[in-house]
Structure 1
Amino acid sequence: MGAFEWMLLPVLGSALLCLLLVPLGYQVIARGVIFADLAIAQWAALGTLAGLYFLPDHTLAGASISSLLFALLAAIAVQLIFRFLGAVKEAWIGILYVLGASLAVLMVGGDPHGAQALQRAAAGDLLWASWELIIATGILTAFVWLLSWKLPAWFSGAAFMPVFAISVTYSVSLAGIYVVFATLIITPLIVGSVQDKPPIIAAICAITGHLVAIAYSVVSDVPVGPAIVVATLLTAMLWIAGYYFRLESKQAPDTNK
């Protein structure tokens, strides 16, 4: 048992990450801002890199303060795009994303370890999660579910974007851009496409994919971030296939009568 105690943090971090991001993913899909979350995640990662080079050791509950500021800045930009540039919003959100990605590359251009920093920002490494980030993610998760339960109108309205930006900041610090985007979108999109399936069902499906990927990463020594993306998609596809198979089985006529 002792040999596997170190896996407690990544397993707990994955579960909390799914519970935090999946209900937000439902909102993202309902609002039609699917690529806005990728842009905000990229700017949160850019802020992390900025903190690494210009504000070392300036953190708030495990996340770089500059990451929080950059994510909130991107969230404000997304709000302005939707308000004033709605007809071409996807193009402008794409510009916002590619600008953040390009600034990140320029920022690490003179660092011999810059490629590693970019890879960590993109793919993350849940296997080395910290208690600070886990606790902060847990508090955010409880807040998001409480807000969606007690104040659903506010959660889907004015409060969404700042809550989303802060949640994405901590999620990117914990797991990287790829995992954040996959967890936000895959199971809410696939499992959520089934009528009346609540976020908790999609979150459980996402947790299953995360845990399968962590186990495979530990056994096979492959990067955990990309493994989570693939495993989450496969798990969601298997879930939806199983759901429709059971549905058809119930609807099929009984030939024995």
Structure 2
Amino acid sequence: MDGLDVSILGPAFIAGLLVLITHVPLGQEVLKRGIIFIDLAIAQIAGLGVIAASRLGFETHGWEVQIIAIGSALLGAWGLSLLEKHQAKIQEALIGIFFILAATGSILLLADNPHGGEQLKALLVGQILWLTWAQLMPLTLITGLIALLWFLFQHNRRIVFYLVFAVAVTSSVQLVGVYLVFASLIIPALGSRGIRKSLIVGYGIGALGYGLGLILSSVLDLPSGAVIVWMIAIIALLPGFFIKYTIKGTLPFSQ
């Protein structure tokens, strides 16, 4: 229980809530569009931009790296928007190709780096427990801007979807990692699908998953990102299976 340090868990939990503010509604939109792996692809493309910028000698958290990462994600989002328009039937397969190219590109760029394994792990799993209050300020500003754009254009979201998605994923992947970005986008949206007030339910699933995940990972001394992913999944999916097999209802995400 000595691991429950509020000065460490506090910024991590707030970071999770900030990520959820934008990722839950975006995840619901992703499910509606049927392009489940777009977030993984764009997150990996943004990560490739970060790694490429680092190889060019820029400071990891410098503004140059952020510009390159966002630029990479926007370019990837623009390409994926063209796929939706011109190659809708094979869009999901092409998104998968985008992801694997960006992932293997990152491996190639880090091949001769003695710390490449650690850098790649940080990109995938994230380092949420190491976040400080100061690091949350840029994420807070970006989250507010994204949320404003998203709800202002709620009747014509096609215009802003890819732009907002690229910026949201880029800002969060560098803090919490690719795995948590995917979990925050898809699992709460899936667990709340078909339920009244699905957005509120999705936020609740995500917040509870982050909170319990951080506590368990601290108590059990396990990687926080991985534990949070598992907790979000358990909270989102187990009630549906329980209802299906004990009350003979339907899964909340099968509608």
TM-score normalised to structure 1 length: 0.86
Select between 165-174 and 229-238 the one with higher mean Cα deviation: 229-238
| Matched residue, 1:125 | 127
**Is 16-25 or 230-239 further displaced after alignment?**
230-239
The alignment partner of 2:155 has SS state of helix
Larger Rg over CA atoms: 1
Aligned length: 247
Judged with a 3 Å threshold, the aligned counterparts in structure 2 of structure 1 residues 107 and 237 are, in CA distance, closer, same or farther, namely same
**Structure 1: gaps of 5 or more residues:** 249-257
Tell me if structure 2 keeps the 8 A contact 1:62–1:132.
no
Give the secondary-structure state (helix, strand or coil) at the position aligned to 2:197.
coil
Partner SS state of residue 153, structure 1? coil
In 2, Cα distance between equivalents of 1:175 and 1:35: 18
Q: CA deviation at 1:186?
A: 0.4
Q: Which residue of 2 aligns with 1:201?
A: 201
- Counterpart in the other structure of 1:165: 166
Pick closer, same or farther for the CA change 1:133–1:34 going to 2, 3 Å. farther
CA distance in 1, matches of 2:105, 2:173: 17
Whether 1:219 and 2:219 are equivalent positions in the alignment is yes
Q: Is the 8 A contact 1:192 1:198 kept in 2?
A: yes
Q: Which moved more, 1:31-40 or 1:139-148?
A: 139-148
Indicate the residue corresponding to 1:176 in structure 2.
177
Which residue does 1:10 correspond to in 2?
12
How far the C-alpha of 1:129 sits from its partner, in A, is 1.6
Which position in structure 2 is the counterpart of 1:33? Answer: 35
Contact 2:50 2:60 in 1 (8 A): no
Amino acid at match of 1:235: I
Offset at residue 244 of structure 1 (A): 7.8
Rounded Cα–Cα distance in structure 1 between residues aligned with 2:5 and 2:225: 22
What SS does the corresponding residue of 2:37 show, helix, strand or coil?
helix
Q: Deviations over 1:193-243 (max 9, x none)?
A: 32x333122012111001111111111121111111111000112454678
Q: Structure 2: how far apart are the matches of 1:23 and 1:144?
A: 11
Equivalent pairs: percent with the same residue? 31
Measured on the aligned residues, the alpha-carbon RMSD in Å equals: 2.7
Distance (whole Å) between structure 2 residues aligned to residue 8 and residue 104 of structure 1: 31
Partners of 2:59 and 2:52 lie apart in 1 by 12
User: 1:61: Cα distance to partner?
Assistant: 6.9
Q: TM-score, normalised by structure 2?
A: 0.87
The aligned counterpart of 2:187 is: 186
